[in-house]
Amino acid sequence: MGSKMKLVRSGNVQARKYKFAALITGFFLVTMTFLVVSKPQSVVISNFGYRTSFPAARTGSDNGLQGSHSATYSGGLDALNSQESERNDGKDEGEINDISGSTSKEEASTHEIKEESGPKSSNHVATNQAATHIALPTASNYSILEHAQSDSSIVPEKSGEQVQTPATRKPLCNVSYPRVDICDMNGDIRIGANSSFVMFVEPSATEQKEEWRVHPYARKGDQTCLNGVRQLTVKASSEGPQCTVSHDVPAVVFSIGGYTGNLFHDFSDLLVPLFTTSRQFNGEVQFIVTDWKQWWINKYRVVLQNLSNYPLIDLAAGDEQVRCFKQVTVGLRAHTEFRIDPRRAPNGYTMVDFARFMRSCFSLERETPSTIEDLAARKPRLLLIARKWSRAFTNSEEIVATAEELGYEVVVEEADVSSDLARFARIVNSCDVMMGVHGAGLTNLVFLPANATIVQIVPWGGLEGIAMLDFGNAAKDMGLNYVQYSIGMEESTLTEKYPRDHPVFTKPLSFHGRGFHVLRSTFMKQQNVKLDVKRFRGVLWEALVHLIQ
Ligand SMILES: *[C@@H]1O[C@H](CO)[C@@H](O)[C@H](O)[C@H]1NC(C)=O
Ligand SMILES: *[C@@H]1O[C@H](CO)[C@@H](O)[C@H](O)[C@H]1NC(C)=O
Ligand SMILES: *[C@@H]1O[C@H](CO)[C@@H](O)[C@H](O)[C@H]1NC(C)=O
Ligand SMILES: *[C@@H]1O[C@H](CO)[C@@H](O)[C@H](O)[C@H]1NC(C)=O
Ligand SMILES: *[C@@H]1O[C@H](CO)[C@@H](O)[C@H](O)[C@H]1NC(C)=O
C-alpha cells in the first residue's frame, strides 16, 4: 500500500518525508482494512470526505485535434501555437509518450489528493492522514505502452505475467489488450475470498498447468498506478477447494485501487469499462472487488446498484468462503481513454448509451437541452466549472457578466470531488452549456443532456492533443456539441511569470520534449486563465445558436 506513495518524488529530499508519512499511512490503512473486514460496524463511514485538487492530464496519442463537429477558436496570438501543434503532431506525441513513461514516477502531482480530505473511513484514520500529502501520478501509460509495443525490447511489462504454459484450450487470460489484461472463463471457476485466487477447475487436464498474475485495473503498464492494485492469481487446476457458495450469475472481478478518487479516473478507468463489461448482464452479475474502498463504493453506489442486483463481494474479506461460478471475467474491458469502442463492446454499446445510463442512474430529467419553446419560458443555463488551485479563471465575474448579457442564466460551481455527486449531476443536467478549463471537473459532462454544448478551455502550452484525448473524444462520442477553445498568450497568467519572448511562449512544444513533469509544472500547475471575454463571447454566442437550431 505504501509503495504507491513511496515512488512519489523518489530521489529528492522530500522523498524520505513521504516514505515516513507513507509508512504511517500504510499502517493506518492496514488497521483500517482490519477494522473494515473484522468489525465493519465499528467503522464510521463518511461518504464524500475526500477531494482531488488537480485534474487528469496525460499524454495524448490517438486522434487529431479536430473532430467533425468540434470547433476551435484560435485567435491571432496563438496561431503560432496551433501551427506548431499541427506540424509536430505525430512526432511530438511519440516524444511525449517516451517522456511521460520515463518520468511519471517523479511527476506525480496531477491528482494530488490531500490525505486529510482523503478517503475517510474513520476518524482516527483521517487525523493521522492529515500529515500526509499523497500525490497520485496521472500520466496514462496507455499510449506509452502502445508506443512501446512496437519495440519488443522495451516491453518489460509485468502485467499479465504468465507463470506457466497454457493448455491447448484457449488460454484463460488474454494479455494482448493495451490497457488491461482480461481473463474470460466459462466452466467451473472457484474464487477464494481468502487468498486472491481465481481457479479454473478442469478435472480432465491432469498435466496441464496454467497460471497468470494479473492486475484487474485498466491502466496496464503504469507501474505507479498498479502498485496500488492487488495482483490476482488466475490458474487452471485439476482440482480445487470445495465450493461453499455457488452462484448462478456470472462474476466480474475488478480493483478499485489505482487512481480511484480522481473523478476522471473514476470514469475512465472504472465506470466506463465497468459499464462496457457488465451492462450486458442486465443486473444479473456479481461484482467481486479488490482494494476495497468503502467511500468510493458509497459515492458510486447508485451506479453499482444499477449495474448489479447483488451486493459487492470483497475478495480480500478474509473469510473462508470459496465461491463458485460458471462464468467469470477478471478485469474490465477498457478500450481507449474515457471511451467505448462499439465494435468491441458487447451489444455495440456506445458512449451515448453510457451517458443515457448515467442519467438514468441519477434519475436526471433532461435527455435533451432546452428547445426554442423551453427558452420562451426560461433562460438557457450555462454552467461554469470553477477551479481553485490551478487553471482557475481569474476573471469569472467578467465571464459571468458577458454570458448574462447574452441572455444566459449562469451557474458557477466548483467540481470539487467532495461534492455530492447526485447533486452535482442534477446541476449539470439542468444546464444547456458547460464550460471549464481542462481538468477532471469536465468529467461531469457525462451528466449533460444529449446535444448540449461543452466548451473545453485549453490552457497555454500546446495541450490541445491532451485535451482532446481526455475529454474531447468522449464528448463527441456522447453526441455533445464539443467546442475546444485554445487560449491565447495574453489570456494566460504565464505572462506574469515569463517575458513574451520566453520559450514558454515562443516554443511551448519544446517543453513537451523535456518530461511530462516539466510540462505539467510549467503549463498545468502554475497557470491560470484570464479569458478574453470579447473573443470568448463568440463561443457563447455560437452555443446559443446551437440551442435554437
Ligand atoms: C486477445 O486479444 C487480442 C487483441 O484484442 C486479439 O487479437 C486476440 O484474438 C485475443 N486472443 C484470444 C485468444 O482471444
Ligand atoms: C510505462 O510503460 C513503459 C513501457 O512499457 C514502462 O517502461 C514504464 O515503466 C511505464 N511507466 C510507468 C510509470 O509504469
Ligand atoms: C485461508 O488463509 C489461511 C492463511 O493464509 C490458510 O491457512 C487457509 O487454509 C485459507 N483457507 C482457504 C479456504 O483457502
Ligand atoms: C437505475 O436506478 C434508478 C433508481 O434507482 C432507476 O430509476 C433506473 O431506471 C435504473 N436504471 C437502470 C438503467 O437500471
Ligand atoms: C442532436 O442533434 C442532432 C443534429 O442536430 C439531431 O439529429 C439529434 O436528433 C439530436 N439528438 C437529440 C437527442 O436531440
Atom of ligand 2 nearest to the CA of 226: 14
Cα 225 to ligand 2 centre (Å)? 10
Pocket of ligand 5 (CB under 6 A): 368, 450-451
Question: 220: closest CA among 168, 145, 292, 149?
Answer: 145
pLDDT of residue 549: 79
CA distance 98 to 360: 40
Establish whether residue 101 lines the binding site of ligand 2, counting it when its CB lies within 6 angstroms of any ligand atom.
Answer: yes
Q: What is the position in ligand 3's atom list of the atom closest to the CA of 321?
A: 13
Per-residue cell: 486: 485554445
Best of 451, 454, 477, 480 for a ligand 5 pocket test (most atoms within 8 Å of beta carbon): 451
Q: Which atom of ligand 2 is nearest to the CA of 222?
A: 14
Residue 46, judged by CB atoms within 10 A of its CB (0-12, 13-18, 19+), counts as middle
Ligand closest to 169 (CA) is: 1
State how many domains the chain has: 3
Identify whether residues 399 and 318 lie together within a single domain.
no
Question: What was the pLDDT predicted at 376?
Answer: 83
What secondary structure, in 3-state letters, does 233-288 show? EEEEECCCCCCCEECCCCEEEEECCCCCCCHHHHHHHHHHHHHHHHHHHCECCEEE
Distance 176 CA to ligand 1 centre (A): 6
Q: Are residues 294 and 401 in the same domain?
A: no
Residue 509 counted as domain residue: yes
In this structure, which residue's CA is closest to atom 14 in ligand 4? Answer: 306
Adjacent-strand bridge partners of 386: 414
> From residue 284, how far is each of 198, 244, 305, 307, 370 by CA, in Å?
20, 20, 11, 8, 36
Q: Best substitution site from 363, 364, 367, 426 to test ligand 4's pocket, by max atoms within 8 Å of Cβ? A: 363
Residue nearest to atom 6 of ligand 3 (CA): 194
pLDDT at 389: 86
Q: Are 388 and 339 members of one domain?
A: no
**Is residue 495 situated within a structural domain?**
yes
Query: Which among 289, 319, 348 is the end of a domain?
Result: 348
Same domain membership, residue 137 and residue 274: no
Q: Which atom of ligand 4 is nearest to the CA of 307?
A: 14
What is the residue range of 138's domain? 71-110+124-150
Pocket test for ligand 4, best of 305, 360, 365 (most atoms within 8 A of CB): 360
Task: Name all residues whose Cβ lies below 6 A of ligand 1.
Answer: 170, 174, 176-177
Query: Are 474 and 500 in the same domain?
Result: yes
CA of 238 to the centre of ligand 3 (A): 19
Whole-angstrom distance, CA of residue 538 vs CA of residue 242: 68
Identify the pLDDT of residue 418.
66
Residues 429 and 331 in one domain: no
Atom of ligand 2 nearest to the CA of 223: 14
Residue 157 lies in a domain: no
Residue nearest to atom 6 of ligand 5 (CA): 451
Q: Please tell me if the CB atom of residue 208 comes closer than 6 angstroms to any atom of ligand 3.
A: no
Sheet holding 71-73, edge to edge: 71-73, 481-486, 453-458, 433-437, 381-386, 409-414
Q: Nearest residue CA, atom 10 of ligand 5?
A: 451
Whether pTM > 0.85 for this model: the answer is no
Please write the tens of the pLDDT for every residue from 4-54: 333 333 334 444 445 445 544 544 444 444 443 343 333 333 333 232 222
Longest dimension (CA), the chain: 77
* Cα within 13 Å of Cα(101), Cβ side: 22
Tell how far the Cα of 192 is from the centroid of ligand 3, in angstroms: 9
Question: Of 348, 379, 401, which residue is a domain's last?
Answer: 348
**Residue 453 belongs to a domain with what CATH number?**
3.40.50.360
pLDDT for the residue numbered 164: 56
**Protein residue whose Cα sits closest to atom 2 of ligand 1:** 176
Ligand nearest, relative to CA of residue 356? 4
Nearest CA to ligand 2 atom 8: 101
Regarding the beta carbon of 192 and ligand 3, being less than 6 Å apart is answered yes
Q: Are residues 178 and 282 in the same domain?
A: yes
Give 105-159 pLDDT, tens digit per residue.
223 333 333 333 333 333 333 333 332 233 333 333 333 233 233 322 223 334 4
Q: What stretches in the chain show pLDDT beneath 50? A: 1-17, 19-20, 23-24, 26-159
Report the C-alpha gap between 400 and 384 in whole angstroms: 8
How many other β-carbons are positioned within 10 Å of the β-carbon of residue 517? 22
Is the shortest distance between the CB of 224 and ligand 2 below 6 Å?
Answer: yes
Task: Show which of 348, 374, 408 is a domain's final residue.
Answer: 348
Q: Is residue 202, in this structure, part of any structural domain at all?
A: yes
Question: Which atom of ligand 2 is found nearest the CA of 139?
Answer: 13
Q: Which atom of ligand 5 is nearest to the CA of 449?
A: 13
For residue 451, report the distance from its CA to the centre of ligand 5, in Å.
6
Query: Is residue 251 located within the same domain as residue 326?
Result: yes
- Phi/psi for 90 (5° steps) reads -60, -50
Same domain assignment for residues 386 and 527: yes
Quickly count: other Cβ atoms within 10 Å of residue 96's Cβ. 28
CB 240 near ligand 3, within 6 Å: no
Residue 327 CA to residue 199 CA, distance in Å, equals 12
pLDDT value at residue 208:
62
**Domain membership flag for residue 166:** no
Does residue 155 line the site of ligand 2, with CB under 6 A? yes
525 within some domain: yes
Residue 486 lies in a domain: yes
To test the pocket of ligand 3, the residue of 37, 242, 320 to mutate (highest count of ligand atoms within 8 Å of its CB) is: 320
**Distance between Cα 515 and ligand 2 center (Å):** 14
Ligand nearest to the CA of 547: 5
Q: Is the CB of 413 under 6 A from ligand 2?
A: no
Task: Confirm or reject: Cβ of 146 under 6 Å from ligand 2.
Answer: no
412 and 495 housed in the same domain: yes
Instruction: Verify that 538 and 397 share a domain, yes or no.
Output: yes
Same domain, 468 and 409: yes
User: Is residue 64, in this structure, part of any structural domain at all?
Assistant: no
How many Å lie between the centroid of ligand 3 and the Cα of residue 320? 7
